């Protein structure tokens, strides 16, 4: 299962959490035709986070609506049980939370073996240092810039220095291909700031799905990133 995202250096990943679930297919087609680079699917179990969304049976048919890579952001207490079902559902990248499994190394390996690209997410209260031993095994780190569970929350300002610390660790460990993704409260107002300190992949829910035009929202996010990465 490949993870190929085209030619942009700055990747925009609409989070469908803020989409109209009654017409999820159309919403996904609209952002795909509107210039998104990948699709961000928030999977919540009502246990690790106080909200419930969807799982593999809802994700699998989405492939009919878009050819973009799909990443599943697992906000669940038992991510290991979803590795194979997510691979079978056509997920290209699986993102697991470091807080959910004491055997993170084993979990990362199982995702790799299943053929998916691997990302690890960190809650706002989890330091980047917990990833030091596994960073070379990852394709991506997701810095949560809100507490996970809901769309439409405010960006946590302390995330800026956290992104900087991750950039330093990435350089120190020679992980030049590692991507740094941010998720939560990102809009045209603050995208320039997160990109300027090193984020290269941007999740945006409300900023895209509450706009009258998905395409215009994606274009304005890219232009607000200030040409730092295009
Ligand atoms: C929050 C989710 C996010 C969320 C982002 O737990 O992981 O992906 O949908 O939504 P906005 O962009 O509205 O903060
Ligand atoms: Zn997410």
Active site residue 101: no
The residue nearest atom 8 of ligand 1, judged by CA position, is: 15
| Mean pLDDT across 7-32 | 95
Distance, CA of 92 to chain centre: 12
d(CA 218, CA 114): 32
Distance 179 CA to ligand 2 centre (A): 15
3-class secondary-structure state, position 204:
strand
Residue 230 has pLDDT above 60, yes or no: no
Q: What is the pTM of this model?
A: 0.97
Of the candidates 133, 124, 119, which has an alpha carbon nearest to the alpha carbon of residue 200?
119
Confidence grade of residue 228 (pLDDT, cut at 50, 70, 90): low
Mean pLDDT of the chain: 96
Q: In the chain, what percentage of residues exceed pLDDT 90?
A: 94
3-class secondary-structure state, position 155:
coil
- Our CA angle for 146, 9, 13, nearest 5°, is 40
What's the burial of 102, exposed, middle or buried (CB within 10 Å: 0-12/13-18/19+)?
exposed
Beta-bridge partner residues of 96: 74, 120
| Mean pLDDT across 210-225 | 97
Beta-bridge partner residues of 122: 143
Rg of the chain over all Cα atoms, to the nearest angstrom: 16
Catalytic residue among 37, 45, 139, 183: 183
d(CA 162, CA 118): 20
Residues 85-129: pLDDT tens digits? 999 999 999 999 999 999 999 999 999 999 999 999 999 999 999
Confidence grade of residue 229 (pLDDT, cut at 50, 70, 90): low
């Amino acid at each position: 299962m490949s993870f190929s995202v085209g030619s942009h250096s700055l990747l925009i990943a609409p989070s469908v959490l803020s989409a109209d679930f009654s017409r999820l297919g159309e919403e996904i087609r609209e952002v795909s035709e509107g210039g998104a680079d990948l699709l961000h699917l928030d999977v919540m179990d009502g246990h690790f986070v106080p909200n419930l969304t969807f799982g593999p049976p809802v994700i699998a048919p989405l492939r009919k609506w878009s050819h973009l890579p799909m990443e599943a952001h697992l906000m669940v207490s038992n991510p290991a049980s979803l590795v194979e079902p997510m691979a079978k559902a056509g997920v290209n990248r699986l993102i697991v939370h470091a807080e959910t499994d004491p055997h993170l190394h084993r979990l990362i390996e199982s995702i790799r073996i299943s053929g998916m690209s691997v990302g690890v997410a960190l809650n706002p209260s989890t330091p980047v240092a917990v990833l030091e031993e596994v960073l070379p095994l990852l394709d991506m780190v997701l810095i949560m810039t809100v507490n996970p569970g809901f769309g439409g929350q405010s960006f946590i300002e302390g995330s800026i220095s956290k992104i900087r610390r991750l950039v330093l660790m990435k350089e120190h460990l020679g992980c030049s291909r590692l991507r740094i993704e941010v998720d939560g409260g990102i809009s045209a107002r603050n995208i320039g700031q997160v990109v300027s300190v090193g984020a290269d992949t941007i999740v945006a829910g409300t900023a895209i799905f509450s706009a009258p035009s998905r395409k215009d929202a994606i274009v304005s996010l890219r232009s607000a990133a200030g040409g730092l990465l295009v």
